[in-house]
Every structure is written in C-alpha cells, then in structure tokens.
Structure 1
Amino acid sequence: MTTPLFPGGVAASRLRVYDWPDADGVPGGSPHLHTASSEGYIVLSGFGEVHTLTPDGLAVTPLADGVTVWFSPGTVHRLVNHDRLELLVVMQNAGLPEAGDAVLTFPSDILDDAAAYRAAAALPDTGDEKTLATAARARRDLALAGYAELLAAVESDGPAMALAALHTRAARLVRPRVAAWSALWEATVARETERTRAQLDALATADAGILGDARVARADAEPGERFGMCGRLRVWPRAEALPAR
C-alpha cells in the first residue's frame, strides 16, 4: 500500500473568514457553489452565519463554537463573519476543489464567457499583502454583484428556476476540466473505495488482507496563509504527505 490518503479522501484547511464589509456593511466571503464536491464547516472560534440557497429556498445557519454544517454540490453558500469567525473546512474529493470545482456567483454575462470568468476568478501569482488583498476583495465584490442578480431571479422566478439557470452555466464552465477530474478521482477516492471493498471481502473470510501493510502519514501545514474565496486559508498538502516522525 502506498502512503494512505487522509480518511475518506477528503481535504482540510483552516479558514479565517474575511471581515471586509460589503456595500451594505455585512462582512464576509464570496458566494459560490461546488459542482462535484460536498463541503463541511466545523466552527473553531468566533461567530457568524452561512447563507445558503438550494431549490428549497434561502436559509441562514448561525455559526458558533460547537456547530458543524455541511452541504451538497450545487448549494450556493456565503459566509458572514460577525466576530473573528474561524472554521475547519472539510472538502470531499480532495484535489477537485483545488482544480476548479468551485464556481463563483459572478454576473451572468461573465458566467456565460469562459475567458471572462477565468480572468475575473484569477488572483495575481505574486504581490504583497495589500495587492493580493485588494484583488481578493474585488473578486468577492464581483461575486456579490452576481449574487444580488441571483437573489433577484429567486424573487421573480423562484429558487428552483433561478438555481437551474446558474447550475447550467456552472456546468458549462467546468466541462473542459472534467476529464482531468475523473482521472484524479479514479486514482485517489475511487481507488480508496475499492481498497475498502476488497478489505471487507477479505475480512469476511477471516483473511487479514491489507492489515499487514499498515502505514502512518503526516503532513505539515504550508507556511503562511493564502487568499481563498471566503477568507485567509491555511492549507495542508494533499499529495505530499510525509512519513511520520
């Protein structure tokens, strides 16, 4: 057995939610959805909310110490930071979210133009803290502009119809990435699932199976923080897990 994946083939990161206020004075991150992966939030400290939109409508879930909330692909979500909100974020299908699984709620004319979307979603590769923060905040504000457009569509057409239009645009945007995603998923999550299936079959016959190939792995958090969609992220490497020491 090679170095094991993190349990379940998930990824984890620590998130300090942005405290930048929007035009209405509400501080928080960028509304977006994931096209293939579920996401979970475990509150570490502080207070806030996650605003979600599904075909059932809009919802607000308060976030405080001890709260865990998770949601499936297609759920539009927006984090609001009332007081130093920090989360442990757990993402399904480690590798896919980093490869573009998230789609920001930019205005529809940008979502309909793949090149315009890539330009709007990208942050500078280099720059000082102020430069990167300015770019991340501008991206957040553009996503909020599109979110306002989405909420207007919810008001006029209902949540299911408004989301269906957004989901169609999101699917078109990510389509060029799906072949690479499938290869990544097959090599990681699917392989781990099949390994568990084979182990259950072995155990059913009193065969120890892979138990004799036990391994321990560790990974150190990458230095510093990066600017994410919803806040400043501290991440752990997915594929570069180190032998335990």
Structure 2
Amino acid sequence: MSHLPGAVGVSRLSVYDTTAPDGLHGGTPHMHLTCSEGYVVVAGSGHVQTLSGEGYRETPLSPGTVAWFRPGTIHRLVNEGGLQIVVLMQNSGLPEAGDAVLTFPPEVLADPAAYRAAATLPGGSGSDLAPAYRRRDLAVTGFLAMRSAGPGAFTDFCRAAAALVAPKLADWRKRWESGALEVALETGRQLDALDKSEIAHLANGGIEVLPAPTERGKHGMCGLLETYIPPAA
C-alpha cells in the first residue's frame, strides 16, 4: 500500500449542524485508544469539548487553528456555524478498523452486542442521517452523565473501552506493523544508507496525487466525511 506521509489518514469533515440533547449542534463524543488526532480548521467556527486525565476543557476553533490530542482524550466537536476541518489521524488503518469507542451509557458499554448494535450505521453513506443522529444523541447522553459524575466515571469508561476493543488488538497490531511502523523503520533504513554514503533509495523519488476524495458523503462520528485513501502500490 502506498502511504501518505508518516502513514497518517487525511479527511475533510463537515461537522453536523443538528441539535443534540443538550441543545448544542455537533458531533458524537468518542475516544481513540491508540491514535492521536489533529484538526486543521478551514472554515466556520465552533469548539471542541475534551475530557481526559487532565479534566474537562473547551477549546475554541476558528479558521487557521491547529489542535490535536493524544489517545485517551474523549472529544466532541460543537458546530457554531459552518465548521469544516481537515482531520489528520495517526496510524492510518487503525481508526478505520475500530480504534474509537463512543461514550454510550454504561449499560451499553458493558454489553458488546448492545454496543455494536448502537454504534453500527446501516450503509455508511446516503441521505438518511437519522441513524447517525440517534447514535450521536445516545453518546452525548452518556458523555454528559460521565462529565457530571467526576473522574471515577471517566476511569470506568476507559476500562470498559479497553475491554470492548480487546478482541481487535491482534488485527490492529498487524495493521500498525505494515503501516506506521514500517514507514518509521524505512526512515531508519534510509539514515543507515546515507551514513554509508549510499544513495540508491533516492532514485525512488516521485510524486503521487489524489486529485479528489476517494470517498464522499460518508457518515462519520462528527459529521460528513470526504476521505483520501491512497491506492494500492
């Protein structure tokens, strides 16, 4: 597979603008367990709510803002008007393989079948956004209760999230080894070659272009996604 620089994932996100149970407009709160995520704000305004080991924060977002957070950060985008973001995801392949747990209420998190039913959307694209909004609203309900309950509830969520993804870890490791790890190791091989005054790898330079998104109109957790996926080499 041909990788984007650093084996990151890139997508353009138009954040949902419908009303959640607390009256705010925006996306579905969730946590990544192994991937950092970055935002480059390109249009509109809003903020991102985060809940992590450092507590609860609200970070304003406006065009030109770059914000990023580490694994273990629950995040929820709030759209205050036309919010559009270029999203950079670490470990391309892992987020697509399920490296995200939504903040559903504890009784849903404790039941893998119930969680899967609540988290899975029919199709994944198309004009019917009602299932995505129902998923968002359930996660917002759980997020608000967790935020009010204090640090213990956050720790309980982390434990439940780790248990939910445990069956996927072997697959994630394979994806990481053939993706982000392989890209990093290639840099080491290039450094070794240059240290020996060997330049053969420089003959493999060139440019690759994705002139348009590979996928359009995908129902993401926080909005409609346009995703860039490099073709097979």
Shorter-chain TM-score tier:
over 0.9
- Cα contact 1:48–1:85 (8 A) shared by 2: yes
Distance in 2 (CA, whole Å) between partners of 1:81 and 1:57 is 22
Find out whether 1:147 has 2:143 as its counterpart.
Answer: yes
User: Which residue in the other structure is 1:104 paired with?
Assistant: 102
CA separation in 2, counterparts of 1:140 and 1:176?
Answer: 24
Q: Normalising to structure 2: TM-score of the pair?
A: 0.95
Kept in 1, the 8 Å contact 2:50–2:74? The answer is yes
CA distance in 2, matches of 1:23, 1:192: 42
Alignment of 1:1-245 (within 5 A): 4-125=2-123, 128-130=126-128, 133-154=129-150, 159=151, 161-219=152-210, 220-238=212-230, 240=231
After superposition, the Cα gap between the structure-2 partners of 1:127 and 1:64, relative to the gap in structure 1 and judged at 3 Å, is closer
Q: Taking structure 1 as reference, are residues 128 and 225 closer, same or farther at Cα in structure 2, changes over 3 Å only?
A: closer
SS of alignment partner, residue 129 of structure 1: coil
SS at match of 1:62: strand
More moved, 192-201 vs 3-12? 3-12
Q: Which secondary structure state, in structure 1, belongs to the residue aligned with residue 63 of structure 2? A: coil
223-232 or 44-53: bigger deviation:
223-232
Structure 2: which amino acid aligns with 1:44? Answer: V
Deviations 1:32-73 (A, max 9, x none): 000110000000000000000111111110000110000000
Count of aligned pairs? 232
Q: Which amino acid aligns with 1:152?
A: S
Partner SS state of residue 41, structure 2: strand
* TM-score, length-scaled by structure 1: 0.90
Q: Deviations over 1:123-148 (max 9, x none)?
A: 01278513xx0000000000011112
Name stretches of at least 5 consecutive residues in structure 1 with no aligned partner. none
Instruction: Kindly provide the CA deviation profile for residues 66-91 of structure 1, in whole angstroms up to 9, marking residues without a partner as x.
Output: 10000000100000000100000000
Q: 1:226 is matched by which residue type in structure 2?
A: K
Secondary structure at 1:175 match in 2: helix
1:13 and 1:114 map into 2 onto residues whose CA distance is 28
Offset of residue 212 of structure 1: 1.4
Distance of aligned partners of 1:126 and 1:69 in 2 relative to their CA distance in 1, 3 Å threshold: closer
Give the AA of the match of 1:188.
Answer: G
| Runs of 4+, deviation exceeding 4 Å | none
Change (3 A) 1:18 1:115: same
AA matched with 1:221: P
SS in 2 for 1:117: helix
Identity of aligned residues (%): 44
Q: Matches of 2:156 and 2:168 in 1, distance apart?
A: 20
